[in-house]
Structure 1
Amino acid sequence: MSVILVFLLVIAGFAGWWLSHQGLMTKPWLEQGLAGDLVGLDRSALPTAKIGLGVFLAVVGCLFALFTSAYFMRMAVPDWQPLPLPRLLWLNTGVLVLSSVALQCTSVAARRGQIDTVRLGLATAGLTAFAFLVGQFMAWRQLTADGYFLASNPANSFFYLITGMHGLHVLGGLVGLGRTTTSAWTGTRPERLRLGVELCAMYWHFLLFVWLAIFALLAGWAATFIDICRQLLT
Structure 2
Amino acid sequence: MSAILIFLAAIAVIIGRWLAGQRLMSKPWLEAGRAGDVIDRQGAPLPAVKVGLGIFLAVVGALFSLLISAYLIRMAGADWWSPPVPKLLWVNTAMLFASCAAMQWATVEARRGGEEASRLALDAALATGVLFLAGQVVAWLQLAAAGYVLADNPANSFFYILTGLHGLHVLGGLAVLGRTRLSASAGGRSSPGKLRLRTELCATYWHFMLVVWLVLLALFTGWANDLVDFCRQLVT
TM-score normalised over the length of structure 1: 0.95
Residues 182 and 118 of structure 1: CA distance in aligned 2, closer, same or farther (over 3 Å): same
2:122 corresponding residue in structure 1 = 122
Matches of 2:65 and 2:75 in 1, distance apart? 15
1:19 corresponding residue in structure 2 = 19
**Contact 1:180 1:196 (C-alpha < 8 Å) held by counterparts:** yes
2:146 corresponding residue in structure 1 = 146
- Report the 3-state secondary structure (helix = DSSP H, G, I; strand = E; otherwise coil) of the residue aligned with 1:22: coil
Structure 2 gap ranges (5+): none
| Deviation per residue, 1:166-217 (Å, 9 max, x gap) | 0000100011001000001033211011011101101100000000000001
AA at the equivalent of 1:219: T
> Across the two proteins, how many residue pairs are aligned to each other?
234
Displacement, 1:231?
A: 4.4
Matches of 1:92 and 1:52 in 2, distance apart? 29
Structure 1 gap ranges (5+): none
Displacement, 1:22?
A: 1.2
**Contact 1:166 1:211 (C-alpha < 8 Å) held by counterparts:** yes
1:196 corresponding residue in structure 2 = 198
Matches of 1:128 and 1:215 in 2, distance apart? 18
Displacement, 1:160?
A: 0.2
**Contact 1:23 1:45 (C-alpha < 8 Å) held by counterparts:** no
Q: Aligned match of 2:222 in 217, 220, 223?
A: 220
**What does 1:12-51 correspond to in 2, within 5 Å?**
12-43=12-43, 46-51=46-51
Displacement, 1:159?
A: 0.3
Q: Which moved more, 1:223-232 or 1:17-26?
A: 223-232
1:78 corresponding residue in structure 2 = 78
Identity level (%): 57
**Contact 2:3 2:231 (C-alpha < 8 Å) held by counterparts:** no
Residues 206 and 46 of structure 1: CA distance in aligned 2, closer, same or farther (over 3 Å): same
TM-score normalised over the length of structure 2: 0.94
Matches of 1:71 and 1:229 in 2, distance apart? 15
Matches of 1:83 and 1:182 in 2, distance apart? 40
